Amino acid sequence: MSAVGRYLEEFGIPTVQISLIREHTVAFNPPRALWVPFMLGRPFGAPTDTAFQKRVLKEAIKLFAYDREPILRDFPDDAPADQLGYDEQQLVCPVSFPTQSKVGTLRERVISEVAQLKAWHEVSIEARKRTTLGVTGASPERLADFVTSWLGAEPAQILDAPERPAAVSVKLATDELKSFYFEAKLAQPGQHSAKSLQDWFWFETSAGEAFLALRTKFAVEGDPSFKGLATLSMVPRVVLDLLTKR
């Protein structure tokens, strides 16, 4: 989108973009951008909160008042909790979901965690009638096995497409596995915001611990594609900022 913005600006059309990954925006340096600390796929925050969405839009529009370019501003607040459109009182917990266990290796814990979340994910699909999973064609169990294999010395090189670069496969798998976790969590009773989901995944789950461990490993890889994965898209900037404060 940054490239499209610059193309349109050459024809005299002012542009502003909403950024979900601040590092990408800094790298591409678009004319005007508003970074928002929301979940990927939700550039305006909660999908049911029109007042909050208008506020985000107005903050983006305000950037047109700046003469100098480029301009990058950070939206100050997290998205509010959103309602998913089903009655929480009708939900029956099919499984218990304990807090993160420290029994076994990190890989074993992630695979076990995915198995526990599977029933919640089925509830999510039934309630929402949709899922974002399916890009890789792999099951959540297969995704967990593939992603965590990279924690060891002999990672699985192939997920679904042999011709695809390994770093791309890892990126797709981690994105999809994270979506599985978020969708499963959203099915659990209670109100959920982007921040509560973020904090739960990155600081309470074994998968979050595994992703952070992989980022550390990839940061020292000789392959620049893995270094880019670690520095730009493996872990959100807002999470890294929180980690430095802990």
What is the per-residue pLDDT across 132-162, written as a single tens digit (0 to 9) for each?
Answer: 898 888 999 999 999 999 998 888 767 777 7
Q: How far apart are CA 152 and CA 146, in angstroms?
A: 11
Q: Is the pLDDT higher at 159 or at 207?
A: 207
- What does the pLDDT read at residue 28? 78
97 touches 120 (CB < 8 A): yes
Q: What is the mean pLDDT of residues 217-221?
A: 85
Give yes or no for a contact between 175 and 138, defined as CB atoms under 8 angstroms apart. Answer: no
Lowest mean pLDDT among 58-62, 98-102, 180-184: 98-102
Q: Indicate if the pLDDT at residue 86 is higher than 50.
A: no
Sign of CA dihedral 142, 144, 145, 148: positive
CB–CB of 69/61 below 8 Å?
no
Q: Which pLDDT belongs to residue 49?
A: 85
Segment 32-38 shows an average pLDDT of 88
Task: With a cut of 60, say whether residue 35 has pLDDT above it.
Answer: yes
What is the pLDDT, as a whole number, of residue 55?
93
Per-residue pLDDT, 204: 93
What global pTM score does this model have?
Answer: 0.65
HSE of 117 in the Cβ direction (CA atoms, 13 Å)?
A: 28
- Residue 214's CB: how many other CB atoms inside 10 A? 22
What's the pLDDT tens digit per position in 152-193?
888 876 777 777 788 888 999 999 999 999 999 988 877 778
For residues 112, 114, 116, 120, the Cα torsion angle rounded to the nearest 10 degrees is: 180
- List the single range of 28-42, 71-85, 160-174, 205-219 with lowest mean pLDDT: 71-85
